[in-house]
Structure 1
Amino acid sequence: MESMTDFESMFDLAPVSLWLEDYSGLKRLFDRWRAEGVEDLAAHLEADPARVRECMAQWRVLRVNQSTLSLFSADSQEHLLSQLDKVFRGDMAAPVVHELTQLWQGHLGFDNQTVNYALDGRRLDVQVRVRVLPGHETTWDRVLVSLDDITERVRAERERIESERYARGLFEHSPVSLWVEDFSAVKLLLDDIRERGIDDFATFIKVHPEFVTRCIQEIRVIDVNRETLRMFVATDKDMLLHNLSRVFRDEMTESFADQLQDLWNGKTLQQREVVNYSLAGDTINIHMQFAVLEDRLATWDLVLVSLVDITARKKAEAYLEYLGKHDVLTQLNNRTFYSEELNRLSRKGPWPVSMLAIDLNGLKHVNDESGHAAGDVLLRRAGEVLSMAVDAPAWPARIGGDEFAVLMPKTDERGAEAMRDRILSLLELNNQFYSGQSGHVLSFAIGTATCEAREHLDSALQRADKAMYADKARHYLARGDHVA
């Protein structure tokens, strides 16, 4: 009698929800269905959902403990049992089918997770443990059910999953290319050479460029997002990750060496402009931001890299720079570029420096007689001739309305005369090609001069101009016209 009292006390005061139930009616129902030929209980229940409710109606609650009343906000056992339809409802149908199937298959003890509801309306996520008590295996008339309230745990897990889903969505749909990488092997390599007494890392990688290559090979790409695939013209992640050598090549080795130098100096937040390549072979100018995550500073095993495609900006900048130093009509260098190069050559050479002063004969006459459109045609033709005639390191420029110049570093008088002859030869071919199209002959007045290291370039420029005007005078004298 004392042991029974102790049992009742333990049952009633247990810190978990306990239910003593009678499943004998369910066993009789199962036996009848088996006799009727039912083999697959899950299919049988799915065929008619009312059968699930019929099974649940066979459960008879004999007793619950105090923890159960507290959990379900019930005043008494009678209060709870009179409102079980409020407790077992909603989204518990699938778990119930699982429990019924376990019993059908002969499992007299099993665990499950389900949803119940307290009488005050609270949703309860519970871990269910069902055990047919010993000695009642043939009748199922005594079944002990325990419920652990795991609502907070499930909520936390749900929030974690939602947070991960949200973060994943931000990652995947970011408008910039994102890479998650593992630099832990790179850190080990840097730590190793530091332990070997290397202090001057810049000198070390100059002497051992293969170290940079090895570090590149040790980077492990963990993940990339959709914008990355689009930017690098990859159909999927495997395609991109198996072709990284086509993406990071050429100039990338030098920029990665700078990145390693920053990491060596403890700079784990970096940004720089680099050049990558798409799998289609196109050059992509990139603004890269690199960050070792704060909680991984000891290992570098989680690094976030963002890449912004600045190719269009770079092209615009290059075009603006081109416009700033080129003449739009002739496509030659302009006076700004010419003046900058004169200053540079006057300081550094290389000597001797030769120059050609060139003037387009008859441009004013063509503008007056045929209009400025015809004059522009002549100017474009002048640009064609000079572009074809002059090769680097020499270069031509339009320095005024009908004035041109050619600067020739490290070129003596013979080189200057050879350039003059070449221009005149191409000028003749140009006139032959355009004969009959415009009716205007392209003609240059050319003067040459050469400057040695001890002489000022301005003096040579004056000599070239003087020689050009003399050539121009001869041209108009031969035509019987005035100089124009």
Structure 2
Amino acid sequence: MPATDPDDDAKMFDLAPVSLWIEDFSALKALFEQWRADGVTDIKAFFAADPDRVRQCSERIRILKVNRKTLSLFGARDLAHLTAHLGQVMRDDTFKSYLEELAQLWNGQTSFASHTVNYALTGERLDIQLNGTILPGHENSWDRVMIAIEDVTEREDARRRLTDSENYAFGLFAHSPVSLWVEDFSSVKRLIDDVRARGVEDFRVFTDVHEEFVPRCMNEIRVIEVNSRTLELFGAPDKETLLRNLSTVFRDEMEPHFREQLIDLWDGKLFQQREVVNYALDGTKLHLLLQFSVLPNHERDWSLVQVALTDITARKKAEAYLEYLGTHDVLTRTLNRSFYVDELNRLERKGPQPVTIIIADLNGLKTANDELGHGVGDALLRRAGEVFGSLVEKPASVSRIGGDEFAVLLPATDAAGGEAVLTSLAELIEVNNQYYPDFELSISTGIATSRPGDRLEQVVKRADLKMLHAKRLYYLAANRDRRGTGAA
């Protein structure tokens, strides 16, 4: 086999597409031997005790030659130019990786490697993959060591951009102002696919018949991650506590909502939005806007799903209060005239019949307002509200239909049932007056029951006339005018 031409070797070295260095480490080896003789065993601890010892090592390495790629990579004119400015090439981030290279040699390795940073003479940062080896035949002297440097800056820049992007995305997730969950629905998909494979076409009917299927699917969901807002919203100190108590969070009203979610998934709706109810760990009821999305590239198995929960509890409370105000009288807490009119019309159309109606009017309210002030009058109205609030239960209702006038609607109640309610009203008024002896509550009432063919307006008029008659008798019996006060 013909001998290799030394000129060819020199050309290959010089024209190699990676940066190559030939260096003499013999003085470094001698320094290591001296330290060993001095009793040094842990080189890293030795360096940590006096970082200047690393500089001593560096000064004992002599660069013999480099190739063209090295000069080009570092922006040097020639070897002398590069050697004169090594302090600019190896600095800052280089120190830690250089320690690792020295430690590998100290531990008897004939080759070493590191991922490190160098700098071009222009100041440009270079991410490099460094591999060094003591050339064969020079293991005892270390006088010929080859260093190969691969520029991996572009790859590392891409990796850093990816890391930054991932950190940014995670930051958006972790610090989102809404509750975010990452979940695995793959087991749920397998259950649904199995149902479809059995020939089921109407999934809603299937879940009507097989009620156990919905809770089974709920139990198959695997929560992968939640953000800090989720822990805050549900009152959990950490993720583990929350996951251990999911049965507390998802219960009661959640099951019907989840059933609708499954039906949408059956129909191929991989993005959904609906209002749901969950519970915090302390039992607080939470109204939430749920946004569900199977993440891109996971449509086939649903293995990655994001659920966003926005707390709308305050909004729902406001809506409920506005709805309450739309049908209730704030002072007496009874229903209002608007509700009364709608309910009267509904009973007219749909029943049930017979309907008994009581019209009631407070006695002496005007005198209380005029002589003692509206505060006393308002207190009388509130007391009337307390009495009427305890009088009937749904579907019966009590409404304040005027300043001091109330209407009691009693569907599916005959005359005898109405009279029983009047008896209860008198008893409640008596009890109320025992609690408020300073000013007696007095109410005049009239009652009427619908007959076949009656319009409810006619029933109201009959009850109203009876109330007015009772009111006249009340004032005559008390020997006073309508503006006076006294017991019922």
Q: How does the TM-score come out when normalised to structure 1?
A: 0.96
Equivalent positions of 1:159-178 (< 5 A) are 159-178=161-180
Which one of the candidate residues 54, 57, 60 is aligned to 2:59? 57
Indicate the residue corresponding to 1:451 in structure 2.
450
**Amino acid across the alignment from 2:110:** L
Indicate the residue corresponding to 1:183 in structure 2.
185
Query: Could you report, residue by residue, the CA deviation over 1:257-287 in whole angstroms, capped at 9, with x for unpaired residues?
Result: 1111111112111111110000001101111
Equivalent positions of 1:392-407 (< 5 A) are 392-407=394-409
Which one of the candidate residues 70, 88, 109 is aligned to 2:72? 70
Q: How many residues matched?
A: 481
> 8 Å contact 1:128–1:146 — kept in the other structure?
yes
Unmatched runs of 5 consecutive residues or more in structure 2: 484-488
Residues 363 and 83 (structure 1), Cα distance of their counterparts in 2 relative to 1, 3 Å cut: closer
Equivalent positions of 1:23-38 (< 5 A) are 23-38=25-40
Which one of the candidate residues 271, 279, 288 is aligned to 1:277? 279
Query: Could you report, residue by residue, the CA deviation over 1:44-92 in whole angstroms, capped at 9, with x for unpaired residues?
Result: 2122222111101111111212222222222333332333222222221
Indicate the residue corresponding to 1:115 in structure 2.
117
1:192 equivalenced with 2:191 (yes/no)? no
Indicate the residue corresponding to 1:422 in structure 2.
424
Q: Give me the whole-angstrom Cα distance separating, in 2, the residues matched to 1:152 and 1:349.
A: 80
**Amino acid across the alignment from 2:421:** M
Indicate the residue corresponding to 1:249 in structure 2.
251
Equivalent positions of 1:43-442 (< 5 A) are 43-435=45-437, 437=438, 440-442=439-441
Q: Give me the whole-angstrom Cα distance separating, in 2, the residues matched to 1:272 and 1:178.
A: 15
Indicate the residue corresponding to 1:5 in structure 2.
7
Give the match's secondary structure for 1:261: helix
Query: Could you report, residue by residue, the CA deviation over 1:383-417 in whole angstroms, capped at 9, with x for unpaired residues?
Result: 11111222332121111011111111111111000
Deviation for aligned residue 1:483? 4.4
Indicate the residue corresponding to 1:477 in structure 2.
476
Indicate the residue corresponding to 1:460 in structure 2.
459
Q: Give me the whole-angstrom Cα distance separating, in 2, the residues matched to 1:364 and 1:86.
A: 98
Higher mean Cα deviation, 447-456 or 128-137?
447-456
Deviation for aligned residue 1:7? 2.1
Query: Could you report, residue by residue, the CA deviation over 1:11-37 in whole angstroms, capped at 9, with x for unpaired residues?
Result: 222221111111001000111111122
Which one of the candidate residues 17, 20, 27 is aligned to 2:19? 17
Q: Give me the whole-angstrom Cα distance separating, in 1, the residues matched to 2:374 and 2:156.
A: 82
Q: Give me the whole-angstrom Cα distance separating, in 1, the residues matched to 2:367 and 2:195.
A: 75
> 8 Å contact 1:451–1:460 — kept in the other structure?
yes
Give the match's secondary structure for 2:367: helix
Deviation for aligned residue 1:148? 0.9
Deviation for aligned residue 1:241? 0.7
Residues 442 and 137 (structure 1), Cα distance of their counterparts in 2 relative to 1, 3 Å cut: same
**Amino acid across the alignment from 2:22:** L
Q: Give me the whole-angstrom Cα distance separating, in 2, the residues matched to 1:123 and 1:430.
A: 88
Higher mean Cα deviation, 451-460 or 152-161?
451-460
Q: Give me the whole-angstrom Cα distance separating, in 1, the residues matched to 2:92 and 2:367.
A: 96
Q: Give me the whole-angstrom Cα distance separating, in 2, the residues matched to 1:357 and 1:365.
A: 21
Residues 84 and 369 (structure 1), Cα distance of their counterparts in 2 relative to 1, 3 Å cut: closer
Q: How does the TM-score come out when normalised to structure 2?
A: 0.95
Give the match's secondary structure for 2:146: strand
Residues 433 and 2 (structure 1), Cα distance of their counterparts in 2 relative to 1, 3 Å cut: closer
Deviation for aligned residue 1:300? 1.5
Deviation for aligned residue 1:448? 0.9
Higher mean Cα deviation, 2-11 or 415-424?
2-11
Q: Give me the whole-angstrom Cα distance separating, in 2, the residues matched to 1:210 and 1:194.
A: 17
Give the match's secondary structure for 1:296: coil
Deviation for aligned residue 1:329? 1.3
Higher mean Cα deviation, 408-417 or 167-176?
167-176
Q: Give me the whole-angstrom Cα distance separating, in 1, the residues matched to 2:450 and 2:369.
A: 35
Q: Give me the whole-angstrom Cα distance separating, in 2, the residues matched to 1:51 and 1:452.
A: 111
4+ aligned runs moved over 4 Å, structure 1 = none
> 8 Å contact 1:126–1:150 — kept in the other structure?
yes
**Amino acid across the alignment from 1:150:** V
Unmatched runs of 5 consecutive residues or more in structure 1: none
**Amino acid across the alignment from 1:443:** S
Query: Could you report, residue by residue, the CA deviation over 1:111-144 in whole angstroms, capped at 9, with x for unpaired residues?
Result: 2111111122211111111111111111111111
Identity of aligned residues (%): 55
Q: Give me the whole-angstrom Cα distance separating, in 1, the residues matched to 2:35 and 2:296.
A: 62
Indicate the residue corresponding to 2:486 in structure 1.
none
